[in-house]
């Protein structure tokens, strides 16, 4: 269903509890030397810890507005040069790229960001930066699949996996970015053939999120689920002992270790194009790559830190080190439109 600009703005204003975080000064004035206004499409409790720590260390108050990525982007565009947004935070390089294409960000330069965020995890001109990583992996049933049978994303399209693959829909940005990475590495023609192979190998029609794919795996509906690492980590770290027992035969496999490495995506942020508190916005981004903030990302949401040496959650650390695909994540956004078209032609629901 197509939503009008007016409807999108109304929805953005009403989305979730995020509006409750808006202090009166956030609505009344654009600039305040002691504040930073963060529009966030991340919805994790850990973020509240981050904001509190930032305020404690800098004295700068964080005003947050939460919403869906598309709604927040539309709101920022409608607000124009009067937007109070200082920082826009979202997940997946595809969304970061879309925001960039819509003029949401401005380029900034920071030695701190450039020193601690690897080149491939930041937009080349400084429009946005990654602060946490997640790998898109295979989660498999060891009673049905041996580790030595698994190898690459490409191999998952082989007919030997017919009726055995669990994966969410093509409308999901995580899958779009995975296909975008395959376009980059293998070319569009091979990427389309791969998508057709995945569709042919699906254990069921796509439905639900990554957690639903893992639940279907343990229910016996398929043998291999494609998931971001943090979803599986949450399940392992939870308090549901019955679920943990069901996961006893389930393991993670990192694809493409013999060549380019496993596909990695990001959570990221950038300074808004008309940020009234630009200096505070840059300070906030620099804070997100600090050791303390990086450890909160890692511990609370089971994401991989981008800063070398930052401590990660024991749950994901137990899986060991793995080789990452070092494609610049901006390429995932550049290839997004083509990825969507390819998935549609392949019949990926």
Mean pLDDT of 193-213: 98
pLDDT mean over 207-235: 98
Confidence check: pLDDT of 327 > 50: yes
Give yes or no for a contact between 298 and 313, defined as CB atoms under 8 angstroms apart.
yes
Q: What per-residue confidence (pLDDT) applies to 237?
A: 94
pLDDT of residue 301: 87
pLDDT number for residue 135: 98
Architecture of the CATH domain 135-262+333-345: 3-Layer(aba) Sandwich (3.40)
User: Do 192 and 348 meet the contact criterion of CB atoms below 8 Å apart?
Assistant: no
Q: Give the mean pLDDT of 304-328.
A: 95
Q: Could you tell me which residue, 31 or 247, shows the higher pLDDT?
A: 247
CB atoms under 10 Å from CB of 246, counted, come to 16
Q: Report the pLDDT value the prediction gives residue 30, as an integer from 0 to 100.
A: 62
CA distances from 234 to 119, 163, 227, 231 (A): 29, 27, 12, 5
Q: What is the Cα–Cα distance from 70 to 268, expressed in whole angstroms? A: 15
User: What single DSSP character describes residue 147?
Assistant: G
Please state the pTM of the whole predicted model: 0.89
Q: Phi then psi for 34, rounded to 5 degrees?
A: -105, 15
User: Could you tell me what percent of the chain has a pLDDT over 90?
Assistant: 87
Q: Over the chain, what is the mean pLDDT?
A: 91
CA angle 328, 343, 119 (to 5 degrees): 5
In the predicted structure, residue 7 carries a pLDDT above the cut 70? no
The pLDDT score that the predictor gives to residue 72 is: 97
Q: C-alpha distances in angstroms, 319 versus 29, 36, 137, 139, 309?
A: 48, 37, 12, 12, 17
Provide the pairing of β-strand 61-66 with 35-40. Answer: parallel
Q: Say yes or no to pLDDT of 298 above 80.
A: yes
Residue 10: is its pLDDT beyond 70? no
Distance CA 270, CA 123 (A): 10
Residue with token string 């200096």: 279
What average pLDDT does the segment 130-142 reach?
Answer: 97
In angstroms, how far is the first alpha carbon of the chain from the final one? 16
Distance CA 318, CA 339 (A): 33
The predicted structure's pLDDT at residue 300 = 82
Note the pLDDT of residue 198.
98
Per-residue pLDDT tens digits for 52-99:
999 999 999 999 999 999 999 999 999 999 999 999 999 999 999 999
* CATH T-level topology, domain 5-133+265-318: D-Maltodextrin-Binding Protein; domain 2 (3.40.190)
Q: Break the chain into its structural domains and give their ranges.
A: 5-133+265-318, 135-262+333-345
- Helix, strand, or coil here: 258? coil
- What whole-number distance in Å separates Cα of residue 234 and Cα of residue 210? 11
Region of 201 on the Ramachandran plot (φ > 0 left; ψ -120 to 50 alpha; else beta):
alpha
Q: Give the per-residue pLDDT at 64.
A: 95
Whether 131 contacts 265, CB under 8 Å: no
| % of the chain beyond a pLDDT of 70 | 91
- pLDDT of 213 > 50? The answer is yes
Residue 140 has pLDDT above 80, yes or no: yes
Query: Of the given ranges (14-23, 31-40, 64-73, 147-156), which has the lowest mean pLDDT?
Result: 14-23
Instruction: Tell me whether domains 5-133+265-318 and 135-262+333-345 share a fold.
Output: yes
Q: Are strands 87-91 and 250-253 parallel, antiparallel or unpaired?
A: unpaired
- What's the pLDDT score for residue 104? 98
């Amino acid at each position: 269903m197509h939503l009008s600009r007016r409807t999108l703005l109304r929805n953005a204003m009403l989305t979730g509890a995020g509006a409750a975080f808006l202090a009166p000064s956030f609505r009344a004035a654009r600039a305040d030397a002691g504040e930073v206004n963060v529009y966030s499409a991340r919805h994790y409790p850990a973020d509240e810890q981050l904001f509190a720590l930032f305020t404690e260390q800098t004295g700068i108050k964080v005003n947050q507005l939460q919403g869906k990525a598309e709604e927040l982007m539309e709101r920022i565009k409608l607000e124009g040069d009067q937007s109070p947004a200082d920082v826009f935070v979202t997940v997946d390089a595809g969304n970061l790229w879309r925001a960039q294409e819509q003029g949401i960000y401005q380029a900034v330069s920071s030695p701190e960001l450039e020193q601690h965020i690897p080149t491939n995890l930041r937009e080349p001109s400084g429009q946005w930066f990654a602060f946490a990583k997640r790998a898109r992996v295979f989660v498999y049933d060891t009673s049905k699949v041996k580790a030595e049978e698994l190898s690459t994303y490409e191999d998952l399209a082989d007919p030997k996996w017919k009726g055995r693959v669990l994966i969410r829909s093509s409308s999901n940005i995580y899958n779009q970015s995975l296909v975008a990475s395959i376009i980059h590495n293998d070319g569009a023609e091979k990427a389309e053939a791969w998508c057709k192979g995945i569709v042919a190998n699906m254990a069921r029609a796509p439905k639900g999120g990554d957690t639903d794919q893992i639940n279907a795996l343990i229910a016996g509906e398929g043998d291999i689920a494609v998931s971001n690492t943090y979803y599986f980590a949450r399940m392992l770290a939870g308090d549901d002992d019955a679920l943990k027992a069901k996961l006893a035969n389930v393991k993670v496999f990192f694809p493409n270790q013999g060549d380019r490495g496993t596909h990695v995506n990001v959570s990221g942020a950038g300074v808004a194009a008309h940020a009234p508190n630009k200096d505070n916005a840059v300070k906030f981004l620099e804070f997100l790559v600090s050791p303390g903030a990086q450890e909160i990302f890692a511990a609370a949401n089971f994401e991989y830190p981008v800063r070398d040496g930052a401590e990660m959650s024991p749950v994901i650390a137990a899986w060991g080190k793995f080789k990452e695909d070092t494609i610049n994540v901006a390429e995932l956004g550049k290839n997004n439109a083509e990825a969507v078209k390819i998935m549609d032609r392949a019949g990926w629901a």
